[in-house]
Structure 1
Amino acid sequence: MKTDFKFSNLLGTVYCQGNLLFSPDGTCLFSPVGNRVTVFNLVELVNLLLLLHPLQCPYMHMAIGLTPRGNLLFTVDDEGHAILTNVPRRIPIYHFSFRSPVTALAFSPSGRYFAVGLGRKTEVWHVPSTPDSNAEGGLEFAPFVLHHTRLGHFDDVRHIEWSNDSRFFLTASKDMTVRIWNLKGEKGFTPTVLSGHRQGVVGAWFSKDQETIYTVSKDGAVFVWEYTRHPDAPAPDEDEEMEGVSDDGMRWRIVQRHYFMQKNAHVKCAAFHPDTNLLVTGFSNGIFGLYEMPDFNPIHTLSISQNEIDFVTINNSGEWLAFGASKLGQLLVWEWQSESYILKQQGHFDSMNSLVYSPDGKRIITTADDGKIKVWDVDSGFCIVTFTEHTSGVTACEFAKKGNVLFTSSLDGSVRAWDLIRFRNFRTFTAPTRLSFSCMAVDPSGEVVAAGSLDSFDIHIWSVQTGQLLDRLAGHEGPISSLAFAPNGGLLVSGSWDRTARLWSIFSRTQTSEPLQLQADVLDVAVRPDSEQLAVSTLDGQLTFWSISEAEQVSGLDGRRDVSGGRKVTDRRTAANASGTKSFGTIKYSTDSSCLLAGGSSKYICLYSVSTMVLLKKFTVSVNLSLSGTQEFLNSKLLTEAGPEGLLDDEGDSDRDARRDNSLPGSKRGGDPSARKHLPGVKVTGVAFSPAGTSFCAASTEGLLIYSLDSELQFDPFDLNMEITPASTLAVLENEKDYLKALVMAFRLNEAGLIKRVFQAIPYPDIPLVVGQFPTVYVARLLRFVAAQTEESPHIEFCMLWIKALVDKHGPWLTANRGKVDVELRIVARAIARMQNEIRRLADENTYMVDYLLGQAHTKTTENGQSLDNEHGKPMKMLTMNEQEVIGSQDDSEGEWIGLD
């Protein structure tokens, strides 16, 4: 089995904090997820991880910026560490540190400068030039060059907005003011302060003609500013206007004041689209509103979340609005004209408990403490359905080996069966007494389901068909921690905190159980796919392997040193001496039974060889220093008298709403200097191998991590900066006779007529050679094209040769990527079946005509008018009576012979 798994994608988490960005064409949305960035393609409905090297960006992203061309992405984390990334190639180009947290980031429309807010100051930097950007002076030696620094605000800068001509920019601050700055020295311009708001300014924007400025503050006030004279000042004389001598009294003034009137809710975010004069605001109660400026006409007001909306942005065309809510992990894209969702995704609110692959490997099901069950599509990365019938945390999930039936157990005392074709709950199993089920197992036949609880020491067994409780298995002296059926359906394995694992023969008449004595509490059990071996994980960090047929221990290994790592903020001991991380909470066998995957309450996932008991590989779950448990050593200066500095609640110092104490009586919150905030710790709660064995997934604090063997980008040999035109393609085809190059160039141009011409021009003896060297990145498209040609063109055998060559040459790749090319394979199978049916129908309709024509070929006329039969070679009168009847039956009524000339 191959073990070079690499991290390929992150599911289950769509938004954490920071700002959202649309691509220049408006089809992609960039969302910061932890210390990575996820790109959502809103047209093809797929997501991909953009930043695959998070080692140099150790903290969660706070601000991201995209150049107007969309080729460079600038990401900054909480500590001011910045990474410049090439978006098309998805590789980091340069690392930089601002040495202080960045509160705002914006690129100029010209793409030559970007401004960052560093606390109370604003810095303007040159954008690093690229060889194809036609920058002045060519390629710069220093990627980041400081242009100038602007000071003047008395509090943090929260928003930066550039003018359309990139000459001016606005900075909105928490000090309730907006300042107008100039990029270069403009004659007669002085930096201007716009004051008048009573709370911190959320955003400020120029109108399209740059004659008006709109500002929005946290208290729900919208001010419209114009450069005008005071209304009470006397009008200037005509001579002064013509000569331009006097300009006294001209300044930026408030000409209109508007208010949102959202009662106790305050404004959390706002965005303005100059081309359509559309103002969008998100409030702390989950409501957003659309208004048309400058008249402040409300378009509509809707509620999309139960919690506050943290960020909102508008794409360049002004049609789509993107909202992010960090507390619930929501990400929504709303088309306001049609009032419909383009994208609506939400991760789990609480930590995940378990996960499982579907039998076909196309979906992953996750369960969490929030009582929700989510179904994730592996190819697209989106959640396609969410089940909310459980009223408490869902602890386990498992598929029936046949069919699309999912079983889940919950702390609400129920085990539910789900139909994943109709997406409904069709069966619910409950116990006679109130219990909270912590583990569950399903018989491979799908007829029996078993569940264990931490409250009771019995195992409950139900019939799936009738829903009735069949039996209660007693024998354990402690809470049941894990259950598993043998794949052959003969035994049920249970693990308990009484330091034993038991083998139950539930289908035999005796229903005997064989106890396996261990040295510590059992955390998880796993049965090898061949049903010959049992793996048990215990609290002391040991992995023991037992023979199921002999009920004796075969081998074991000590995994404490392998899994331990990472010191949590609250740990009194170092990572090497902490006992909480030195055990495996979840284990799973690989599909081929050669490896065992194990994870626990640490930042490592271990892959062991079952035959040699050797650690094959160790995977690091996260390097995000914003999580507790990712560092081996803690800085002693971060320990204060009130506790670790990372857990102190430092918010609410200057905001009255944030200082408001809504806690219950007796709880210490608000004025207490030791008030705590939640800092999640890194851990792995579930692991699972895909049915094909080419990938595995892990449920962690950051989300659903997917590790696969084919994570690298597929290489396209012609994806280079070269001239590819229809004329050059035909020249390669006709002059050079390079059929492979011509076919790939045709696919690059994606013109149907050109592809068809090149396809039909390739000689049939060269088809295996062309297909054998054909890049895998185009195999799916070629399959779809050949299937279409099978139905359209008359060259049936030619298309069949292409299909045979594709299957022969790229069969292993098609098998490994069945989920990606399943649609194309179905199209090919349907085309072949249709061709087969048409040929069979044509043969059935013409079988008598063919027999007739073949019979006529054996008959000829003699010179004297007698008919001879070639088959017998005798005159008519010398034939037997039966032969004469057969030939005579083919004559017409006049006795003339019907034959061919």
Structure 2
Amino acid sequence: MKYFILACVFLCAVQTVWAQEDEYFVQLLKKGNGRVNAIDVNEANTMLLLGAENKSASVYDLNSKKVVFEVEAHYQPVIDVKFSKEEDVFYTIGDRSVKVWKIGDEKPDKIYTGTLINMTSWSITPDENYFVASSYNKKYCYWEASQLKAVKEVETGHKKNMIAVAISNDHKWVVTGALDTSIEVWNLQADKRKHLLLAHSRPVSCVEFVNNNKHIISASHDGNARLWDMESGQAIKMYLGHSLPISSIAVNPNGKFLLMASYDHTIGLFNIATGERIHVYEAHEAPVLDVVWNRQGNGFYSCDKDGNVMEWTVPDKVFVDFYFGKKIASELEESKLLLPRKKGEAKDVYKDRQTNAEKLKNKLQDKYYLEYLELERTFIIGDLIEN
């Protein structure tokens, strides 16, 4: 038993080295100089877009590690930002408007308006033809990209202000979250509410459609997130682990894993289908306000209340160690390569054993990575429903 514990310690020690120096490497891209509220990455993974409390939007070049463009975008803090699919074009959201900019231009190319109250959240379809915004007046506004004025403003049933909104990829549905802890799902064309969802104990800070609009993920100031069935309105999964409010969520490109950024200074990585928390990323020393995956889905970027911007990687071994770490430790124990140095054993022989243990560990990682790929195929959202 003690050798199994030793194997686990060895495995954890190796993982710690990876976390700090290699596979879970954390890089400080931009040191804090005022609160950064929002972050996005462009299609080429070469630039970051940052929205700040000081009303500015800035473009950060990942190659030169420098801000290459900055503009005062709104007369109040920028609450969200997004790169367009069109090269060198981006959106900013703040005060009562959505603005479209070209990198290098000091004035916006377009300004979308329609709400009389400051916006609190924003969401756009992948084709960038339709978008919605929530505001402090319990209404959401809907735009078609071809028109600068909002097409309509819809009164929801929330009893308190909305702070989260999302539009489905097919622009047929809108989901909203509010300070009153409720979630509402609306038929965008008919302006009719389909569901009133109640489960969170504190304000709902994030909502997002997933799995081809078959499910919704919500996150809350209660530190938890939930997965909802779009058709029935049933809550089918919970994501637990954060101790303070969730500020941002992001689903990776393959749709199977979820990042949750929190005021507890951490970012959690979750399996959407099973609800398992796979890893906790810890490096921020302030509330994490936003998080975004890179386009490959093997890493992400985050920003915090102090203005720090960080880059993280999500290697395959994060998943291998989570699902097969105990088996790897057991096989290391059986190899007896981790036995304490024997009396009379030459120092170089003992050192060779340690080297062979490292080689075996890497071999086992490769072996169980193949098993993980088979396991990943079973991660189907909605298949594992909570009772």
| TM-score normalised by the chain length of structure 2 | 0.61
Equivalent residues in 2 for 1:400-799, closer than 5 Å? 400-402=125-127, 404-454=129-179, 456-486=180-210, 488-507=212-231, 509=232, 511-521=234-244, 522-560=246-284, 564=285, 582-611=286-315
- 1:365 corresponds to which residue? 91
The structure-2 alpha-carbon separation of the partners of 1:439 and 1:10, relative to structure 1 and needing over 3 Å to count, comes to closer
**1:10 shift after superposition:** 9.4
Contact 2:131 2:143 survives alignment (8 Å):
yes
Whole-Å separation in 1 of the counterparts to 2:173 and 2:260: 23
- Displacement of 1:519: 3.3
CA–CA distance in structure 2, aligned partners of residues 545 and 7 of structure 1:
23
Q: Structure 1 residue 439: deviation in Å?
A: 1.2
C-alpha distance in structure 2 between counterparts of 1:386 and 1:532, whole Å: 35
1:393 to 1:585, Cα distance in 2 relative to 1, 3 A: same
- From the superposition, tell whether residues 11 and 537 of structure 1 become closer, same or farther in structure 2 (CA, over 3 Å): closer
Q: Which runs of 4+ in 1 moved over 6 A?
A: 3-13, 52-55
User: Does the C-alpha gap of structure 1 residues 409 and 433 become closer, same or farther in structure 2, counting only changes over 3 Å?
Assistant: closer
Deviations 1:484-526 (A, max 9, x none): 222532321111112211011112x362332222231222211
Shift of the alpha carbon at 1:545?
Answer: 1.1
Give the match's secondary structure for 1:514: strand
In the TM superposition, residue 379 of structure 1 has moved relative to its aligned partner by 6.5
Query: Gaps (5+ residues) in structure 2?
Result: 1-26, 30-44, 319-387
- 1:422/1:372 Cα in 2 relative to 1: closer, same or farther (>3 Å)? closer
Contact 2:261 2:291 in 1 (8 A): yes
Are the equivalent residues in 2 in contact too, given 1:358–1:399 (CA < 8 A)? no
CA distance in 1, matches of 2:189, 2:48: 40
Report the CA distance shift for 1:592/1:379 in structure 2 as closer, same or farther (over 3 A).
farther
Q: 1:379 to 1:553 in 2, by over 3 A?
A: same
**DSSP-derived class of the 1:425 partner:** coil
Which has the higher Rg, Structure 1 or Structure 2? 1
CA shift digits 1:209-246 (9 cap, x unpaired): xxxxxxxxxxxxxxxxxxxxxxxxxxxxxxxxxxxxxx
- Matched residue type, 1:548: I
What CA distance in whole angstroms lies between the structure 2 residues aligned with 1:605 and 1:445? 32
CA drift at 1:424: 2.7
Q: Does the Cα contact within 8 Å between 1:375 and 1:383 map onto a contact in 2?
A: yes
In 2: Cα distance, 1:504 partner to 1:8 partner: 31
Partners of 1:611 and 1:598 in 2: CA distance: 17
Counterpart-to-counterpart distance in 2, 1:53 and 1:538? 26
> Aligned partners of 1:441 and 1:513: how far apart in 2?
20
Output the amino acid matched with 1:383: P
Say whether the 8 Å CA contact 2:177–2:184 is kept in structure 1: yes
Superposition map of 1:283-294 within 5 A? none
Alignment partner, residue 151 of structure 1: none
Report the Cα distance in structure 1 between the residues aligned to 2:72 and 2:263, rounded to whole angstroms.
34
Instruction: Please name the residue that 2:81 is paired with.
Output: 355
Partner of 1:287: none
Unaligned runs of 5+ in 1: 17-32, 37-48, 56-89, 91-344, 565-581, 615-901
| Conserved? CA contact 2:113–2:148, under 8 Å | no
Equivalent residues in 2 for 1:37-56, closer than 5 Å: none
Determine which structure has the larger strand proportion and give its number.
2
Structure 1 residues 525, 8: CA separation in 2 closer, same or farther (over 3 Å shift)? closer
Is the contact between residue 130 and residue 142 of structure 2 (CA under 8 Å) also seen in structure 1? yes
Is the CA contact 1:11–1:382 (under 8 Å) kept in the aligned structure 2?
no
Question: In 1, are the aligned partners of 2:219 and 2:249 still within 8 Å (CA)?
Answer: yes
Aligned to 1:245: none
TM-score scaled to structure 1, two decimals? 0.27
For residues 8 and 512 of structure 1, what CA distance do their matches in structure 2 show?
34
Give the CA deviation at 1:528.
1.0
Q: Which residues of 2 match residues 2-21 of structure 1 at below 5 A?
A: none
Secondary structure of 1:424 counterpart: coil
Please give the secondary structure, in 2, of the residue aligned with 1:525: strand
1:41-440 equivalence runs, <5 A: 347-361=73-87, 363-368=89-94, 370-378=95-103, 380=105, 382-402=107-127, 404-440=129-165
Displacement of 1:477: 0.9
SS of aligned partner of 1:586: strand
Q: Pick closer, same or farther for the CA change 1:420–1:510 going to 2, 3 Å.
A: closer
Tell me how far apart the structure 2 counterparts of residues 9 and 491 of structure 1 sit (CA, whole Å).
Answer: 28
Whether the 8 Å CA contact 1:557–1:613 is kept in 2: the answer is: no
SS in 1 for 2:191: coil
Query: Residue 120 of structure 1 aligns with which residue?
Result: none
Name the aligned partner's letter for residue 514 of structure 1. Answer: K
**Could you tell me how far apart the structure 1 residues matched to 2:224 and 2:80 are?**
23
How far is the alpha carbon of 1:452 from its aligned partner? 0.6
Greater RCO, 1 or 2 (C-alpha within 8 Å, sep 6+): 2
